[in-house]
Amino acid sequence: MGEPLLRLQNVTAGYGDAVVLNDVSLDIAESGALAVLGRNGVGKSTLMLTIMGFTQMRAGRVFWRGQDISRQPPHWRANNGIAWVAQEREIFPSLSVEENLTVAAQRGAWTLETIYQMFPRLSERKRNMGNQLSGGEQQMLAIARALMTNPSLLLLDEPFEGLAPVIVEELIRAVKQMLAGQKLAIVLVEQHTDVALELTANAIVLERGAVMHRAPSAELQKDTETLERYVGLRVAAEH
């Protein structure tokens, strides 16, 4: 086994005096896909923010391609291949779809052309302003904008939350395509357990900021007892 793409080693982190993550360790391989499960408020979003460098690390280390990046700021991580799609989407409302896509683009396999192939809706609306899009289209744009930085790791924080089933369908198809076609690793925080486990190879379950369980996704899918105990099963609409 080669060096993992990303490694968290005994990470304890939080905000100010508040500790949210407690002694968290995980590895993500090149082109790997990890689901992060758990009830609301257990530290899933804080884990994403810690990988991006937005929290205060109390202990432990973060490695990126074998290099200790624990003290590197968020912009360094973004410029070196880690992309994050926040729950709030954070697209630029007064820029057009195309301007949103090109504003932080970096060279690589993801171009306007490949993005528009994956998300035809964005192609149709490329001249619309960000604030003229529906919630689902804004989510597509947020993911597409992250891909335009041509990352090696994409962090997706509840990307399907509150969206119409038809949009969720399109996004699930897009994530499958990303994992199949590009050298891209994904960390997926998702309340809909079945979707999260279907899209990923491995999973961890957080409880009170600590990793309580880790397993291959296919194995965890069958382990309803663990899922009920730590996640409280939420099954997505049929897809």
Question: Tens of pLDDT along 220-230?
Answer: 999 988 898 88
Name the nearest CA neighbour of 5 among 203, 150, 183. Answer: 183
20-29, 44-53, 120-129, 176-185: which range is least confident on average? 176-185
Neighbours of 56 (CB within 10 A): 14
d(CA 213, CA 220): 9
User: Is residue 74 within a helix (H) or strand (E), and if so which, with residue range?
Assistant: helix 74-79
Site of tokens 């057009």: 96
% pLDDT > 90, the chain: 82
Question: Tens of pLDDT along 71-84?
Answer: 999 999 999 999 99
Contact (Cβ atoms closer than 8 angstroms) between residue 188 and residue 35? yes
Instruction: Look at residue 2 in the predicted model and tell me its pLDDT.
Output: 73
Q: Flag whether pLDDT at 192 surpasses 80.
A: yes
Domain ranges for the chain: 30-56+73-231
d(CA 44, CA 51): 11
- Terminal alpha carbon distance of the chain: 35
236 pLDDT band, cuts 50/70/90, is very low
Q: How large is the average pLDDT for residues 80-106? A: 92
Question: Tens of pLDDT along 156-185?
Answer: 999 999 899 999 999 999 999 999 876 899
Strand order in the sheet with 56-64: 18-28, 6-15, 56-64, 67-68
Q: How large is the average pLDDT for residues 111-126? A: 95
Site of tokens 């486990």: 197
Q: Flag whether pLDDT at 237 surpasses 50.
A: no
d(CA 230, CA 224): 10
Name the nearest CA neighbour of 25 among 7, 4, 45, 52. Answer: 7
Q: How large is the average pLDDT for residues 101-105? A: 92
At the fourth CATH level, which superfamily is domain 30-56+73-231?
Answer: P-loop containing nucleotide triphosphate hydrolases (3.40.50.300)
d(CA 139, CA 150): 18
For the chain, what is the total number of helices (H) and then of strands (E)?
Answer: 10, 10
Q: Flag whether pLDDT at 94 surpasses 70.
A: yes
Q: How large is the average pLDDT for residues 50-71? A: 97
**155 against 191, higher pLDDT:** 155
Q: Flag whether pLDDT at 92 surpasses 80.
A: yes
146 pLDDT band, cuts 50/70/90, is very high
Which pTM does this prediction carry? 0.93
Q: Flag whether pLDDT at 238 surpasses 50.
A: no
Strand order in the sheet with 82-85: 82-85, 153-157, 185-189, 33-37, 202-207, 210-216
Beta bridge partners of 36: 189, 204
Site of tokens 């810690």: 50
C-alpha of 23 from chain center: 21
d(CA 32, CA 18): 31
